Amino acid sequence: MTIELTNSADTPEHAELRRTVRILCEQFGEKYWQQGDFNREYPEQLVDTLTKAGYLSALIPGGCGDDGAQRANVDALSGVDR
Taking the C-alpha atoms of residue 56 and residue 47, their distance in angstroms, rounded to an integer, is 7
Sequence spans of domains, the chain: 12-77
Give me the residues of the chain with pLDDT under 70, please.
1-9, 58-82
- Res 10: pLDDT: 75
- Res 14: pLDDT: 82
- Res 55: pLDDT: 83
* Model pTM score: 0.64
User: 31-66 burial, b for 16+ CB within 10 Å, e for fewer?
Assistant: eeeeebeeeeeeeeebeebbeeeebeebeeeeeeee
Taking the C-alpha atoms of residue 79 and residue 2, their distance in angstroms, rounded to an integer, is 10
- Res 41: pLDDT: 96
